[in-house]
Amino acid sequence: MTALRSYQQEAIAAVHAYWHNGGGNPLIDLATGTGKSVVLAQLVRDVVEQFDARVLVLTHVKELVEQDLAATLRLWPECPAGINSASLGRRDTRAQVLFASIQSVFRLDHYELGKRQVVIVDEAHLVPRAGDGMYLSLINRLREGEPDMRVAGLTATPFRLDSGRLDEGDGRLFDDIVYTYGIGEGVRDGYLSPLRSLNGASGQIDATKVARRGGEFIPGALEAAANTDALVTAAVDDMIARGADRRGWIIFCTGLDHCEAVRAELARRGIAVASVTGETPRDERARAIRDFKAGRLRALTSVGVLTTGFDAPHVDLIAMMRPTLSTGLYVQMLGRGTRLASGKSDCLVLDYSGNVRRHGPVDAIEAMRGERGKAGKAEKAEVDTVRAKECPSCGSLVALRTMECGDCGHAWPVEPKHEAKPDVEAAVMVREVEERWLPVTGIEARPHESASGNLSLRIDYVVGLRTYPEWLSFGSLGWGGEKARVWWQRMTGDTAVPGDVATAAERLRSGAAEVDCTAIRIKRDGKYWRVQDRLRSDGRAVDEHLKIRNVETRAAA
């Protein structure tokens, strides 16, 4: 019997609560290495035992079909399971719980597979936004036999590899992200290995002039920019120098020729290495991965594979030689290094692609915004924004607001406070920063009643896929009421402060008042983050605690 961790139990409870309240198709966002297959297994058991549901579990490669089935049988040995996967030589169709590869079943319908009340999609970021993709074609046919069928998704990257969030946009399959447990939480709780980022000292790939199409660099143009003798040699020189004490290397490349060039240069330096690509014969690929996991190979160069469904916990060096505009692909690449292993303290990320600067902290990530498929000025400005800085002493990529490098102790000069402006970006991980600014992408407000019956207005500052709340007690006496009054005047510009929570909520909902906030400063308080300050669109920060001091004294006077 597999014992579930607390966050896995919370994820499952979130799905049940969502369905209980009438929700449709939920998505669970769990970082790579935190046990999605265990959550999937428990969810399968729950819907079968509680509702006698017929379940279809879909994924895209045979390895994940086997992995999901094995996890389910470990947790529930009596599961009435079957497999439909051409690669595995099984073509079951009537099992109550059917584990299938999408390529093997996407042409079938509810007559052949039977009615399915629940479909669970593993690696849900591979489901396209709209159109006649395999997943959507199958799901639409199954709904003809079961109109109320529910679809649940699990992923480590809740945005597509080529566009925005999975729960946004026309034609989306998933309605809401009901639970998130990211890399930052996994590292904090000891379930994942931390990432440490170094900018490549040499071999940097310049993608600023590479043409873009469909929200990504054009592959041929990108490979032409990356695959030069000078860049490959310089990057491999740097890689060997910095990775001398690292035992498992993954190098992500831009194309087949680039992948082979990097492999050949590493081999010439005496590194035991193999290439794994979409063109590698199946047996040869399996042998290379087996040798890498066994330690007979030190490195794998890769293009187009190893970003999902690849599990090698000992990986402690990731070299990104593939620039990407895809937030999802960036997170997937880094996820290869977050698993725990004996003797592994962290995973070193060597960035020759500019991806860390381009996308920012992997533990506070958000999908890039902008119109897909158009490389206009707005898109270019978003993509080319610098989101990290390099330590001049050791080359570590650190949060922009960091004043002392955690690796070498280098100290940046402190600017006068009245000239300092909050910076809202960071580096590959921001877990070590106890206080930081984050960009706000949305504001939500609603009345909130505490367990003791106290009513307040809950303000949720949306930052990418997460929210950071604070509570305002409109109409109350003392410090809480004074804080609410000052907050309202400074954050909305409205001097007519609401006298109660309901009025405040209605004025924000109707648009009669609008919160002006572009960023928040948060500070760790135990296991939680607290909102300490807010940045308005005019660039002015509202002081910590809204400059409220001695309120009761002033009120008494």
> How many distinct helices (H) and strands (E) make up the chain?
17, 25
CA 16 from chain centre, in angstroms, equals 23
Q: Domain boundary residue among 400, 431, 462?
A: 431
Sign of the torsion formed by the C-alpha atoms of 294, 296, 301 and 305: negative
User: Could you tell me if 426 and 309 lie in one domain?
Assistant: yes
For the whole prediction, is pTM greater than 0.95? no
Q: How far apart are CA 332 and CA 326, in angstroms?
A: 10
Give pLDDT, residue 173: 84
Token pair of 52 as six digits? 């006698």
User: Could you tell me if 302 and 373 lie in one domain?
Assistant: yes
User: Could you tell me if 405 and 419 lie in one domain?
Assistant: yes
Residue 332's nearest CA partner among 89, 157, 548 is 157
User: Could you tell me if 10 and 82 lie in one domain?
Assistant: yes
Q: Domain boundary residue among 399, 431, 463?
A: 431
Helix (H, G, I), strand (E, B) or coil at 544: helix
Give pLDDT, residue 391: 59
User: Could you tell me if 297 and 420 lie in one domain?
Assistant: yes
Q: How many CA atoms lie within 13 A of 30 on its CB side?
A: 23
Please answer whether residues 336 and 318 qualify as being in contact, where contact means their C-beta atoms are separated by less than 8 angstroms: yes
- The pLDDT tens digits along the chain (557 residues) read 568 999 999 999 999 999 988 888 999 999 988 999 999 999 999 999 999 999 999 998 888 899 999 999 999 999 999 999 998 999 999 999 999 999 999 889 889 999 999 999 998 887 765 545 888 889 999 999 999 999 999 998 887 655 567 777 777 788 888 998 888 888 888 999 998 887 666 778 999 899 998 778 999 999 999 999 999 999 999 999 999 999 999 999 999 999 999 999 999 999 999 999 989 998 999 899 999 999 999 999 999 888 766 789 999 999 999 999 888 888 889 999 999 999 999 999 999 998 888 887 776 555 443 333 333 333 343 334 444 555 555 555 555 555 555 555 556 554 433 333 333 333 566 554 556 778 888 898 989 877 667 788 999 888 866 778 888 888 877 777 888 888 999 899 998 999 999 999 999 989 899 999 988 888 776 656 788 888 888 877 776 444 433 333 333 33
The domain tally of the chain equals 3
Q: Which residues have a Cβ under 8 Å from the Cβ of 477 and sit 6 or more positions away? A: 555
**Cα dist from 135 to 13, 14, 161, 175, 178, whole Å:** 26, 24, 16, 16, 21
Q: Domain span at residue 96? A: 6-181
Opening angle at CA 297, ends 294 and 298, nearest 5: 105
What order do you get walking across the sheet with 528-535 strand by strand?
435-439, 519-525, 528-535, 541-542
Examine residue 1 and state whether it is found in any structural domain, yes or no.
no
Give pLDDT, residue 373: 35
One DSSP character per residue, 188-257 reads HTTSS--EEEEE-SS-----TTS-EETTEE-HHHHHHHH--HHHHHHHHHHHHHHTTT-S-EEEE-SSHH
Q: Which helix (H) or strand (E) holds 302?
A: strand 299-303
Q: How far apart are CA 299 and CA 259, in angstroms?
A: 12
User: Could you tell me if 117 and 219 lie in one domain?
Assistant: no
Residue 521's nearest CA partner among 468, 484, 471, 482 is 468
Please answer whether residues 379 and 370 qualify as being in contact, where contact means their C-beta atoms are separated by less than 8 angstroms: yes
User: Could you tell me if 124 and 228 lie in one domain?
Assistant: no
